[in-house]
Structures are given as C-alpha cells and as structure tokens.
C-alpha cells in the first residue's frame, strides 16, 4: 500500500536529516489521517485512492503557490510528491479508451459523460478529467 511506503520514506528522510522531505511527508501523512477520519474509515489500511486524492491536492496547492512566487523548496516538494502518483496515460491512449467504451456501450449523447468517467475511474488509470471531457465532446462535435 502506498500509505505504508510513504511512512517508510518519511522515517528514512528523518534519519537522513532531509528536512524538506521529512516535513512534507509528515504533513502529507497527517492530512491523509485527517481525511480518513472525516470519511469515517475505520480500517487500519488506507486506500490508495485517499492517498492519491491528498497528493493531488498538495500538488495543486504547490502549483498555485509557484505561480505567485518562485520557490525552490516548493519545486522540490512537487518533485517528491509526483513520484507517488501513477504515470498519467497519454492523450491518445485516453482517446482510444473513451472511443472503445462509447462504441461498446452504444453511447449517443453528452448525458452519458458521467458513465464514461466512472468507467475510466474503475480502470484505475491516472487521467486528466478535463482531457477526457474534451475528447468526449469532440466525439459528439460539441
């Protein structure tokens, strides 16, 4: 599980006295625990989806901060976090997945966009939702 790997990496960073990485991962673990508590997750294991959700939120916040001011520590933090996310599929792969699903399910209108997004999420592939929506719209010439 990704959560356990982050805990191990956080401990290694503390031992190596890598303050940027250890502080970032400590904060990340705390945020994951908070989200887990809010969602009333009673299990000991933390689902990777929760971890990905928090990591994406952190990356989004870092990118917004970088737009305002250049900070090397933020860039380092982003580098660290990105390594925990699965590789995002290419635009052409995403297009192929959407087109094949639309064809197989005989989807004929924009109303079925949520169905397509759910299908992609079930595949557990990392994709850009905005790109998926754009591809879907192009299929229907919108």
The tokens describing 77, both together, are 């933090």
The predicted pLDDT at position 42 comes to 58
41 pLDDT band (50/70/90 cuts)?
Answer: low
**Averaged over 117-121, what is the pLDDT?**
88
Q: Considering Cα of 58, then 61, then 65, then 67, what sign does the dihedral take?
A: positive
Residue 14 has pLDDT above 90, yes or no: yes
**Averaged over 1-30, what is the pLDDT?**
95
Task: Please list, residue by residue across 8-24, b when 16 or more beta carbons sit within 10 angstroms of its beta carbon and e when fewer do.
Answer: ebbeebeeeebeebbeb
**Residue 103 CB neighbour total at 10 angstroms:** 10
Domain map (residue ranges) of the chain? 2-82, 91-139
Contact 132, 89 (CB under 8 A): no
123 pLDDT band (50/70/90 cuts)?
Answer: confident
Mean pLDDT of the chain: 88
The predicted pLDDT at position 49 comes to 79
**Averaged over 100-115, what is the pLDDT?**
89
Residue with tokens 């390594």: 83
Residue with tokens 């599980």: 1
Residue 59 has pLDDT above 70, yes or no: yes
């Amino acid at each position: 599980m990704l959560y356990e790997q982050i805990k191990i990496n956080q401990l290694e960073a503390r031992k190596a006295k890598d303050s940027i990485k250890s502080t970032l991962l400590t904060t990340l673990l705390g945020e994951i625990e908070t989200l887990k508590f809010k969602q009333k997750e009673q299990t000991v294991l933390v689902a990777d989806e929760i971890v990905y959700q928090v990591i994406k939120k952190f990356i989004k916040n870092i990118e917004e901060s970088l737009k305002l001011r250049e900070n090397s520590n933020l860039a380092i933090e982003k580098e660290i976090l990105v390594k925990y996310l699965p590789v995002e599929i290419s635009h052409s792969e995403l297009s192929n997945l959407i087109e094949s699903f639309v064809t197989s399910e005989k989807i004929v209108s924009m109303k079925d966009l949520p169905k397509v997004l759910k299908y992609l999420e079930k595949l557990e592939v990392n994709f850009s939702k905005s790109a998926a929506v754009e591809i879907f719209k192009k299929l229907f010439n919108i």
